[in-house]
Amino acid sequence: EIVILPDGAAVGAAAAARIAAVVQRKPEAVLGLATGSSPLGAYAALADLVARGEVDLSRTSAFALDEYVGVPPESPLSYAATIAHDATGPLGLDPARVRTPDGNAADLEAACSAYEAAIAAAGGVDVQLLGIGANGHIGFNEPTSSFASRTRIKTLAPRTREDNARFFGGDLDAVPMHCITQGLGTILDARQLLLVAQGESKAAAVAAAVEGPLTAMVPGSALQLHRTAVVLLDEAAASKLT
Ligand code: F6R
């Protein structure tokens, strides 16, 4: 399902309404969270619904998509800290039930397996919020990622490191080389996918993911395999759809 909305605020409101609907049906729902700029409008709109008493997220659990390797969780640049700041606090989530992959584990592969096991033990993700990278990645599944991939260590693509340098004061050398990300197979296991994209810089990736062939070169095209994938776009992000 592709929904084209007038602007980013409408995208955020629509995503929030869909997540709220899942939690209203199932108060102990498992949420899949994304970091970056794309989901911020959804978190803000969802925080408004929480503040107005229209939905209560305090009994949900949440799993982030990804984390940098080697950035300590107390650093504001870690995705653990970003999720705490952007989502856990404003949405009234229980911090004890919000997880990010452990990018500082002594045994990173064991941390990846533990993350998969934790998602499974929670009963799987009910609704997964996603952004999309300009190179078509979802999570940090960079081009060439297998559609069957599970949570694993990945090397960030040069384009992704350039795009994310803005969070590191513009210093490309400060951007980590590696991350842990849920795999495309992990993401596809969620019961509903909700991809949000705003702005012209995402238009080509959105068109390739939604209208192009299924290909590992455009990891977002994996959404075409899902029964309940909703793509919420502003007009700029939709501008290259046919
Ligand atoms: C973030 C993530 C990434 C971002 C993507 C878009 O957890 O997994 O796939 O969603 O890089 O980033 P923004 O939203 O900052 O443009």
Tell me which fold the domain 2-228 belongs to.
Rossmann fold (3.40.50)
Please give the positions annotated as active site. 66, 135, 137, 142
> ipTM of this complex > 0.95?
yes
Q: How would DSSP label each residue in 84-148?
A: IIIIIHHHT--GGGEE---TT-SSHHHHHHHHHHHHHHTT--SEEEE---TTS-BTTB-TT--TT
Q: Which of 31, 79, 130, 132 to mutate to test the pocket of ligand 1 (most atoms within 8 A of CB)?
A: 132
* Residue 232, pLDDT score: 99
Per residue in 87-122, pLDDT tens? Answer: 999 999 999 999 999 999 999 999 999 999 999 999
Q: How far is CA 37 from CA 6, 42, 73, 74, in A?
A: 18, 10, 19, 20
Query: For position 57, what pLDDT does the model report?
Result: 98
Per-residue pLDDT tens for 21-40? 999 999 999 999 999 999 99
Closest CA to 206 of 145, 131, 149, 97: 131
**What is the per-residue DSSP string for 197-238?**
E-SGGGHHHHHHHHHS--BTTBGGGGGGG-TTEEEEEETTTT
| Ligand 1 proximal residues by C-beta, below 6 Å | 34-38, 65-66, 131-133, 137-140
Using one digit for the tens of pLDDT, what is the confidence trace for 150-188?
A: 999 999 999 999 999 999 999 999 999 999 999 999 999
Is the pTM of the predicted complex or chain greater than 0.95? yes
**Sequence spans of domains, the chain:** 2-228
Please give the distance, rounded to the nearest whole angstrom, from the Cα atom of residue 143 to the centre of ligand 1.
14
- pLDDT band of residue 14 (cuts 50, 70, 90) is very high
